[in-house]
Structure 1
């Protein structure tokens, strides 16, 4: 990674980051447009997730053919099975504690933690395990590759500061969840992104944080839909 700017122009680096951000904005705008095609909600949601996978492919192609670099600038480290298991429990426990504290603070301050948009979306996940699984897998894989795997190392090179790279990527990760309509829907993903980014920066394992992200979304969706009538 230290030789990145020796083989790739700085403008290409900035172009890649900009390209990723534009794709994220485009995918955010795609869902409302898809709904106008009068597909069933489940079909629309599946299509929107497939678009995200396609965007991941585009970013991968940019890194290989334009940057002429590996998609993951941080080489994936291999660990023992026991380390993976311990790390997953550690990260999941940290996320659980962090979300508990965030939820408690919002309740104590009287801030709104309910999202009508989220409640509407969850209706379509009720008793729909394939949709829950596909959504969780899509989020776990694509978002970790986007925000941690691709974005953080390149921001670090550009800013020459790991901490700023982690912070900025986490802020962007939080902001892409703005459409759910409440502040907690931005703060919570920001903190989740921060926890996952710090773990990735320390251990250089995208595998661990993909699994954790997938499990977190899966557990949340199953829990929220199980409480629905």
Structure 2
């Protein structure tokens, strides 16, 4: 684990935290830069998803070559199949309850603005289930590895406060989605990030979060495209 008491490693820790936010941000909005090339929307979307995988690779290389530390600072706890399935079910249930309660609050405050960007994405997903599936796989794996697996433990080291690290990582995760253009599309991911961060701290197994994230997105996007 990184020893931030060593002043020589403090800058490396901070740089890694910054990169874990900046790289996926640049990857997601990379499509904005290639619109002028005349590439169709579906291809642009694929390119932006592949760019996120590249950002994960760059972050992995940074951890390996610059930090000289494991990408996942928290060692993976192994579970039996039944224990793993139970953890997935509990995490999914907590996620559903948290999102449901958040939805009630949003309805109370009448936040109903729709995202034009998200609607365009839904139109693409209706035409290509492969794109929808690839998007869910990409989000589940890359976002969990970056924001929970990589960022959360390092924020805890930098802030020396577990609860603050959970909150900050979740807020950063939420603002990664601000490009959708609505407050709702930021609040939702913040809540989801909080649930996943808490569960990762409890179970110390990133695969649980990856599977839950993938299933949640697949369920939600499939429902919307119908």
What TM-score comes out, normalization by structure 1 length? 0.93
Cα-Cα RMSD: 1.6
8 Å CA contact 1:8, 1:67 repeated in 2: no
Task: Kindly indicate whether the alpha-carbon contact (under 8 Å) linking 2:28 and 2:49 is maintained by their aligned counterparts in 1.
Answer: no
Partner in structure 1 of residue 212 of structure 2: 212
1:113 deviates by 4.4
Q: Could you say what secondary structure the match of 1:126 adopts?
A: helix
| CA positional deviation for 1:34 | 2.0
Matching residue of 2:29: 29
Residue 126 of structure 2 aligns to a residue in which SS? coil
Distance (whole Å) between structure 1 residues aligned to residue 101 and residue 113 of structure 2: 13
1:102-159 per-residue CA deviation (whole Å, 9 max, x = no partner) reads 2222222222242222112210000421111110000000000110000011111111
Deviation for aligned residue 1:18 = 1.6
Query: In the alignment, which residue of structure 2 is the partner of 1:102?
Result: 102
Q: Is the 8 A contact 2:20 2:147 kept in 1?
A: no
Q: Which residue of 2 aligns with 1:42?
A: 42
Secondary structure at the residue paired with 2:182? coil
Q: What is the Cα deviation at residue 25 of structure 1? A: 3.0
- The Cα of 1:177 is off from its aligned counterpart by 0.6
Q: CA–CA distance in 1 between the matches of 2:135 and 2:202? A: 27
Runs of 4+ that moved beyond 3 A = 2-8
Structure 1: runs of 5 or more not aligned? none
**TM-score (normalizing by structure 2):** 0.95
Moved more, 39-48 or 169-178: 39-48
Q: Equivalent residue for 1:83?
A: 83
Q: 1:9 to 1:47 in 2, by over 3 A?
A: same
Q: Which residue number corresponds to residue 64 of structure 2?
A: 64
**Cα contact 2:28–2:48 (8 A) shared by 1:** no
* Structure 1 Cα separation of the partners of residues 225 and 160 of structure 2: 43
2:148 counterpart residue number: 148
